[in-house]
Structures are given as C-alpha cells and as structure tokens.
Amino acid sequence: MAVPAIPPIRLGLIGTGLAVEKLHWPALRTLADRYVVTAFTDASAEQSRRFAGYSGTDPARATADRAALLARDDVDAVLISVPIPHLYEVARDALAAGKDVLCEKPAGVDAEQAAAFLALAAGHPGRTFVVGENYFYRDDLRYARALVDSGAIGRPHLMAWRHAGRVVPREGGFSGTPWRHRPQYRGGVHLDFGVHHIAQIRLLCGDIARVHGAVQTANSTIDAPSDLALNLVFTGGAIGNYTASYPEIPVPPEPNEMRLYGTEGVLVLAGSEPECRVTLSGADATARTTVFRGSDNGYRAELVDFADAVQFGVAPVGSVAQSVANTMVVQRALDSAERAAVLALDPVPGAGPVPLWRPRGSAGLFDGLPGQRISSSASFAA
C-alpha cells in the first residue's frame, strides 16, 4: 500500500521585498512539493502587486496586513522578510497566532533583543522557529566543514579573512534600501551582512571564546562604522583575524579569500555565488580545487531544512540560538571596540557548535540537491 503523500506547507509571506524576490522566491518555486504560498502581505501595495506578477501567485491571496494573514486558517507557517527593526515584533505575533516561523536574520537589533529572541523561542517550544542563515547550508561551506571534520588539514590553528567591497546606495539593490542607510540596529552593515561571515567562521572554526575589535567610519553614505578589524580566539584553541571594510570609494579588486591553516594542510575559500571554490592544499605541496556552481547560496537547502522541521520534527540547523550566537559575536566586537579591551563571549544557551547539515535521510552532502561540483588537482611545489 502506497504511503500517502505529505501535503505541502501552506506558507504566508510577510514582506515581499528584495529578499523574497531575489533570494527566497527563486528557491521556493523549485519546492512546489514542499510549499504552496496561500497568502502574502506587504506594507507596499505596489510591492504586493509586483510579487503576484513575477511569481504567478493569485492576487486574491494578498491580505491587507499581517494581522489578517495571521488570522487565516490556510496558513501553517510564515516567512518573515521585513526590515530588521521589525523582525522581532512580527515573529512574536506569528508565534502567538500558532504559526511556524522562518524569519530573516539577524536575531535582534542589539544584545538585549537577541536575548528576547531566545526567550521568544523558549516560550513556544511546540513551534518550529528558525532565524534564517543561508551560509550554514551553502554547498561549498558544508564541503569545507566536512574536510575539517575528516582531519584533512590536521589541527586548525589560524584563520585569516579580509573582505572589502564598496557600499553605496544603488537603486534596485540591497544597498539602496533606505532603512539600511541610517540603520536602527547596532552595527549597520556589520550586523546586516556581517552575521553571514560570522556564521561561516563559526561553521568552519568552531565557537569563539574571546574577541578584540576596532572600528572606523569612512563611508558618509551609511550611518554606521564602515570598517571592522577583529581578532578572535576560538574555544578549540585556534586564533584568527577577520577584517571587513565597506568604503564609499571604489576599491581595487580584492581576493576576499578566507584561509584556514592547519597542521597538515590549508583550506582556501574563494569566489562568489556563481562560482565558489574550495582549495585543499596538503603538506606535499599539492592542491585540489573543487568548484561549486548553481547551488543558490544555500537558500533552497535552508527551506528544505525548515520544511523537514515542520513536517518531520527534524531539529533545524538554523535555530534561533545559532543565529543569536552569530549576532552576539558582532555585538561583543562592537563592545570591545568601544572599551578598547579584549572581551569574553558567553556561550549562548542551546547553540554550541554549528551542526553540519545533510539532506534528510542521506549520508552524503549533496544527495538530491541541484548544482555542479567539479574538482581538479595541481602542484604548487617550487
């Protein structure tokens, strides 16, 4: 006798702006067996119409506001994509309405609200509550983490990463969003975008014990520090440096590579979404590079993990606690910069080391997932 198919999750979208258009919808449309959008709302009626147009969703599914959407019986879960200062209140209302929640990052505008996110999750143990972090699900990063776990580079002892890129308001892009120019959240771009980098660091290097940060302001188009230099000590004993700069003037092309040095080898993570590269160099002066294409920066896998949590009770990798742990690294870095002191990071309850996500029921990293993976080897011996 055939096992009945599990019906797709009836999903409501609260906010249909750039994050939905450019990030979430391209992934959602490939997961028609897991999700069906039954309602959507946006503070901008024009944006709602735009979403209905490009997605093909029935315009009649638009609701006047989030209260109307949350009152609907045909909404099981919500995807929240609203400006950062409003994430907490919308997530609170959705959980109170009995909905499962996938909320955009970060978990809180500051340390106080990060703690409130943790309390909110603890107060709704029967609901799936995820604060999204697509970097936990990226194919290249999961592959690199598996190499670290396998001992491919021996004991990691040093991480080095410098990321620099111009940030000025650009119409139609994320940097053009008005609430990002004068952010009502502590840290500006280092919280909004920087938590992705912190997620990558924690995924590959483990949790952070101490931070020593310094900031500079060199971008008149954003009301927040443009530069962050951060020295890190990891709980596993490794040390590292992370430098992020977002100036308003054009900068020469930057490699923006993360390097993780171990006693037996080195990992280099480079490239961007269209083509990410992971290079493993060994003590014998050989290097194996794996190129990843078409993996959408992890958004599809993140939605799969959320669906597995809702439908099958799987513990999601992108928990609220993990997102709070990312947020708190940024907040303590800013504290450190203000105090000119090395500061300890308290463990976040329920977080711990980031789990390595694999497709449910699979022992492999990529089973059933889209994307190309191409490997080649070379020698860098003199």
The pLDDT value given to residue 175: 82
pLDDT digits (tens, 9 = 90+) for 292-317: 998 899 999 999 999 999 999 999 99
Sign of the alpha-carbon dihedral angle for 21, 306, 85, 296: negative
The pLDDT value given to residue 72: 98
CB atoms within 10 A of CB 162: 16
* CB crowding 289-310: b at 16 or more within 10 Å, else e: bbbbeebbbbbbbbbbbbbbbb
Among 142-146, 303-307, 377-381, which stretch is predicted with the lowest mean pLDDT? Answer: 377-381
Can you tell me the mean pLDDT for 198-214? 98
Can you tell me the mean pLDDT for 105-110? 97
- What is the rounded CA–CA span in Å between residue 106 and residue 91? 12
pLDDT digits (tens, 9 = 90+) for 216-248: 999 999 999 999 999 999 999 999 999 999 999
The pLDDT value given to residue 1: 42
The pLDDT value given to residue 171: 84
Side-chain half-sphere CA neighbours of 99 within 13 A = 29
What domains can be seen in the chain, in order of their start residue?
9-134+300-307 (3.40.50.720), 136-298+328-379 (3.30.360.10)
- What is the rounded CA–CA span in Å between residue 27 and residue 25? 5
pLDDT of 206 above 80: yes
pTM for this one? 0.96
CB atoms within 10 A of CB 201: 25
- What is the rounded CA–CA span in Å between residue 176 and residue 184? 16
